[in-house]
Amino acid sequence: MKTIAIIGVGQFGYHLAVALSQKGYEIVAVDKNEDIITEIKDLVSQAVILDATDEKAMRAVNIDTVDKAVVAFGANVQSSLLTTALLQRMNIQEIYVRQINTLQESILKSMGIKNLISIEEEMGSQVANTISSQGVGRYVAISNRHSLIEISVPDPLVGKTLENSNIRSQYGINIVGIKTRNPEIMDDGEVSYEIQMTDIPDPRYVLKKEDLLVVAGTDDNLNRFMTVLGKDA
């Protein structure tokens, strides 16, 4: 099992550590804020209070033996760079660093760091895509020209099976999942919807108006699919 050090447990580092821990990784969370470490200690394999720029302290908790390390500091650029340099001296092979400005980015690249994380840029692009694509729920870029979107079933496809809709052959995109919304009447008479996800869709499944399609493909093909079938891209 891979061990990953998450160094700097702010909002980003906290959620990253918990998500990776839930995926089965051994996570070592490092921060000098005692309150943050207390909050996360039961959610990860190990949580330690220390200054990540202190080499002796880092080696004492075996950070030099982890498989991967993520430097997740936000505004503290100096600590981020010093910690990154220390991890390199420890010969950690895979180092991921959150960068928040172009100067930090250029310094990290000059240090040979290839795995740069720009949360603000990635989230900004994702939100922009979601806002500008009417009828689309989630919109996630998976490369500079490929995306994965969540979209309600276009009217022309309601009542058709996946097989008969010819989505893949006509538009060059793939339906990778279907979310079905099943109505449920509550005790007070209100209607709520239970969402169930099918990640291997049956080609004989008949599409319903209430369904959500999880679709993957190139941006050009996704835009063509949404435009032709009445979703403004």
CA 14 to CA 96: how far, in whole Å?
Answer: 15
Specify the fold of 3-118: Rossmann fold (3.40.50)
Tokens representing 28 are: 């070592």
CA 34 to CA 32: how far, in whole Å?
Answer: 6
- pLDDT for 45 equals 95
At 152, is the secondary structure helix, strand, or coil? strand
Instruction: Strand 146-152: give its sheet, edge to edge.
Output: 136-141, 146-152, 212-218, 174-185, 191-198
Q: Where are the domains of the chain?
A: 3-118, 129-228
- pLDDT for 122 equals 64
Q: How confident is the model at residue 233 (pLDDT cuts 50, 70, 90)?
A: very low
pLDDT in tens, 85-95: 999 999 998 99
DSSP 8-state assignment for residue 155: G
Residue 216, Cβ density class (10 Å: 0-12 exposed, 13-18 middle, ≥19 buried): middle
pLDDT in tens, 14-68: 989 998 998 889 999 999 999 999 999 999 999 999 999 999 999 999 999 999 9
CA 163 to CA 171: how far, in whole Å?
Answer: 14
Q: What is the CATH number of domain 129-228?
A: 3.30.70.1450
pTM beyond cutoff 0.75: no
The reply to whether domains 3-118 and 129-228 share a CATH topology is no
pLDDT in tens, 107-138: 999 999 999 988 766 655 555 555 455 555 66
Distance, CA of 154 to chain centre: 27
* Contact assessment for residue 209 and residue 114, using Cβ atoms and an 8 Å cutoff: no
- pLDDT for 53 equals 94
